[in-house]
Structure 1
Amino acid sequence: MKKLLLLLLSATVLISCEGDQGPPGPPGRDGLALLPLSFEQTLNFSAPDYENFIFYDDFVNINEVGVNDMTLVYILFDQTTDNQGNPLDVWRLLPQSLYSDFGEYQYNYDATNLDVRVFLDGPASTDFNLLGPADLENQTFRVVILPVDFLNNPNLDVSDYNSVMQVTGLDDSDFTKVE
């Protein structure tokens, strides 16, 4: 038993020893601050699919979009004025449900780290052919891609467009207009 204990003690001492530290490695590159990506695109919907794809690599380095980043899509739902008569845009988070004489439908989206698909959705009984040009043409969407670090901010309310703008530090001039 003494020999086994001596062997274990010797092995412990042998593997716990350190050699020379060696020279320090080269300094690393400065990390980039995690910034949200933002863009705006006006879309038209048409039969048979009533959908549009927006590919990120058309306007950003695709490596900037992480697989854990959150993609938010807002629709320009209305335009109104403030107390001084200045125009104000009303942005709503998708999905956005609407009700018409022929039933319910919604603007919706799904996203990957490569693209966003914006589409019209509704029950099987919904006939999108009955929608007018105001519902199908020149619909403006804003896409905000939030790095995962922003999601831990207790002040972030993704359903509130203005909250997202405030937390991320974005303003209207930061949105790249995609044709």
Structure 2
Amino acid sequence: MKKLLLFLAISSTFLFSSCEGEDGQDGINILGQVYEVTTDLNYDSPNNLWRNIVTIPNDIVVYESDVVLVYLLEDVSQNGHDLWSPLPQNFFLSNGDIIQYVYNHTFFDVEILIDGNFDLISLGNQFTDDQTFRIAIVPAEYATANLSMEELLQNLEINNAQIETISN
């Protein structure tokens, strides 16, 4: 009797472990979106800031659980590759002054600012004019680490050709 029960247990294990059913429907693939904007920042004298508001394109929806990340195009390498820095980003100027690119956002726009420890009216236009930013709207799990632009694009399965460039 014990041998019969053992045989039935083993054979039922093989029988039920080899069963396959239809695959279920794929879920919605919720990945982030990235867009690029080149803009000038405008001086706000009452607050001693440089700022600009970039509108999020209408075809991009920002959910409550999403995280907005902003990257500054800092340079282009000798190989022609873009070098992106995540904001906030500090710059230490030769005279000892410090500026910092920062941002804040709503569901509809991103405000990019330059703050500093001196009267920013004298800040050179290399920091304020024709600045290129990549704005990424991503699910919260991608914001747990300080990802580089390359890591972010790889995780989101986005290549540079897919990034929409908007005018501001």
> Which TM-score band (shorter chain)?
0.7 to 0.9
Q: Which has the larger radius of gyration?
A: 1
1:52 paired residue number? 52
**TM-score, length-scaled by structure 2:** 0.73
1:144 paired residue number? 136
Larger % of strand: which?
Answer: 2
The alignment yields a C-alpha RMSD, in angstroms, of 2.1
Q: Does 1:114 align with 2:122?
A: no
User: Aligned partners of 2:161 and 2:32: how far apart in 1?
Assistant: 14
Alpha-carbon shift at residue 150 of structure 1 (Å): 4.1
2:16 paired residue number? none
CA contact (8 A) 2:36 2:165 kept: yes
**TM-score, length-scaled by structure 1:** 0.69
CA contact (8 A) 1:67 1:112 kept: no
Alpha-carbon shift at residue 160 of structure 1 (Å): 1.5
Opposite residue 158 of structure 1, the aligned amino acid is: N
State which of 123, 139, 164 in structure 2 corresponds to 1:176.
164
User: Aligned partners of 1:144 and 1:44: how far apart in 2?
Assistant: 19
Shift in CA distance, 168/158, structure 1 to aligned 2, threshold 3 Å:
farther
Alpha-carbon shift at residue 77 of structure 1 (Å): 0.5
CA contact (8 A) 1:69 1:147 kept: yes
Where does the alignment leave 5 or more consecutive residues of structure 1 unmatched? 1-29
